[in-house]
Amino acid sequence: MKSHFAAAFLLLALITGKAAAQPPLASLTGPTMGTTYHIKYWGDQPNDPPKVKATIDELLAEFDRQMSTYRDDSELSQFNRAAAGEWFPVSADTARVVEESLRYYRDTDGVLDVTVPPLLRLWNFSAGAKRDEPIVPPEPKALLAARRLVGSQHIHVQTEPPALKKDFAGVEVDLSSIAPGYAVDLIIAKLQELGFANAMVEIGGEVRGVGLRPDGKPWRIGVEQVDATDGTLARIVPLHDMALSTAGDYRNFRTADGGRFTHIIDPRTGRALPYVGASVTVVAKTCTEADALDTPLLIMGPDDGYKWCVEHRIAALFQTRTADGGIVTKTTEWFDELAPQAPTKPEPQRTSAE
């Protein structure tokens, strides 16, 4: 849900293997949240893809009714129009995602902030904005007015019964920085409920693998080298009960005053990040966590973001393209433990996530 609910801006590669007498592997794909989902799963019972797909599609349709910013009738859109100072009833999932976003807002000292819609509109990066339209950097007065409406401290959540409340009119919520990862976790939980303990689920670049592939090896995901045009991979990450998410600045940007600005807003300044050719990949136990952290770390930058990861023991890969066309990479020790070596050549099978 980062930019039209597409969470990551890199190429993912699902690298599979073949062996004799393996259990059958089922594959599902379909549209969701302005992007696509890809699922691979298997278990000790018949895979029954049509039935499983219908179940997953129903789950995602309900998720869209809850948290989409593209639907006027979604819970989130209705809350954004609701009066201030009053509890607005929502589903348990919506309340949980907002609750998680507030936790990461505190953990990142406000760098993850789901109340940025006024700033996204100001920079022409809101839901429904056209990518080919140039942007005009906002005037200081307009920027100040929008920033007054931003700050997750103005959002409150309760879980029993689930409801949201805002402090004053004009405060809005956009969960695109965390909701796709939560949706991946929901699908994994549903597949496990259906009896499939082995699965890989990807939505718009947010991916999680549980169990193993039919050949007994972990699911493996290729992380694209930043700004690559030939599919070169920076690392191949095995995901055994782990999740991965990447945020980058090189697939959604606009031109203004001779420069390029990304779709990523720094809520601390209200300004869109200038394009440099950078990405951050996070590996975590849940896709919710990986999705919640990649964009804040990109905003922090490779120095402060790296320090934050070391302090919080986060597995992360930072890539930054230099002025001469080179790439500087920084990895935390926990990322290196998971993916110790860079691949020597691109892998043939891959899934695009834009």
Residue 233 and residue 190 share a domain: yes
Task: Count the neighbouring beta carbons within 10 Å of the beta carbon of residue 153.
Answer: 12
Domain range for 23 is 2-66+178-345
Annotated binding-site residues read: 177, 291, 295
DSSP per-residue codes, 37-91: EEEEEE-SS---HHHHHHHHHHHHHHHHHHH-SS-TTSHHHHHHHSPTTS-EE--
Q: How many domains does the chain have?
A: 2
Q: From 166, 197, 222, give the residue that closes a domain.
A: 166
Query: Is residue 201 located within the same domain as residue 283?
Result: yes
- Binding-site residue numbers for Mg(2+) are 177, 291, 295
Question: Are residues 276 and 232 part of one domain?
Answer: yes
Whether residue 20 sits in one domain with residue 104 = no
CATH number of the domain at 157, please. Answer: 1.10.3980.10
Q: Is residue 191 domain-shared with residue 119, that is, in the same domain?
A: no
Per-residue pLDDT of the chain (354 residues; tens, 9 = 90+): 443 333 333 344 455 555 456 779 999 999 999 899 999 999 988 899 999 999 999 999 999 999 999 999 999 999 999 999 999 999 999 999 999 999 999 999 999 999 999 999 998 876 655 556 667 788 999 999 999 999 999 999 999 999 999 999 999 999 999 999 999 999 999 999 999 999 999 999 999 999 999 999 999 999 999 877 777 899 999 999 999 999 988 666 666 666 677 889 999 999 989 888 899 999 999 999 999 999 999 999 999 999 999 999 999 999 998 888 889 999 999 999 999 876 655 443 343 333
User: DSSP labels for 237-258?
Assistant: EEESSEEEEEEESSSSEEEETT
The pTM assigned to this predicted structure is 0.90
Domain identity same for 112 and 18: no
Query: Are 228 and 316 in the same domain?
Result: yes
Residues 41 and 182 in one domain: yes
Q: Are residues 191 and 283 in the same domain?
A: yes
- 248 and 270 both lie in a single domain: yes
Single residue among 134, 166, 198 that ends a domain in this structure: 166
Question: Same domain, yes or no, for 12 and 117?
Answer: no
